[in-house]
Amino acid sequence: MAEVVEVLVSGGKATAGPPLGPALGPLGINVKGVVDEINKQTASFNGMQVPVIIEVDDKKNFTISVGIPPTTALIMKEAGIEKGSGEPNVQIVGDVSLEAVVGIAKMKFEKMLSYDMKNAVKEVVGTCVSLGVTINGTKPKDFLKEIDTGMHDAVMNA
């Protein structure tokens, strides 16, 4: 039977320290080998928290499954910010393009509760509300109204 370890690691910067070392050490596998493989697979998510699942079988072989970072981390990377606004309805801390929002929605679509791309984009825009990030210079709540009118359907369906 395989042992499964689920952790959140910093993309491309995992170490043998906590949380990986203590979780993998008792399994008797090469922790450095696992860490190196995780860093290789998560390099494109540099600096973001990435969910990783490590499965170790009876013969001490391991497989690594890398998830997609949380929506907030993807938006903050696109906006070039390190943290969201303390007062999201008052203070705007960044801006992202509609294309970036659609890209994030496509990446996260399988894990979202939305049935179609339009609602997935609205979920991502909703996250922008709580972060204090505008979309193409428009406040997220106003942008949601524009989406409802069909104003951005061409970009979302591309």
pLDDT bracket for residue 60 (50, 70, 90): confident
Mean pLDDT, the chain, whole residue set: 91
Nearest-CA neighbor of 96 among 67, 74, 65? 74
- Summarize the confidence of residues 66-74 as an average pLDDT: 91
Nearest-CA neighbor of 68 among 54, 82, 53, 80? 53
Q: How many residues does the chain have?
A: 158
pLDDT tens-digit readout, 39-59: 999 998 887 888 999 999 988
- Summarize the confidence of residues 123-148 as an average pLDDT: 94
Does the structure show a pLDDT above 80 at 72?
Answer: yes
pLDDT bracket for residue 153 (50, 70, 90): confident
Q: Distance between terminal CA atoms of the chain?
A: 44
Helix (H, G, I), strand (E, B) or coil at 148: helix
Cα three-residue angle 55-1-65, rounded to 5 degrees: 15
**How much is the pTM?**
0.79
- Summarize the confidence of residues 99-113 as an average pLDDT: 92
Nearest-CA neighbor of 108 among 75, 154, 151? 75
Q: What is the pLDDT of residue 141?
A: 93
Q: Delineate the domains of the chain, giving CATH numbers in brackets.
A: 3-66 (3.30.1550.10), 71-156 (1.10.10.250)
Does the structure show a pLDDT above 90 at 102?
Answer: yes
Residue 35 near residue 9 (C-beta atoms within 8 A): no
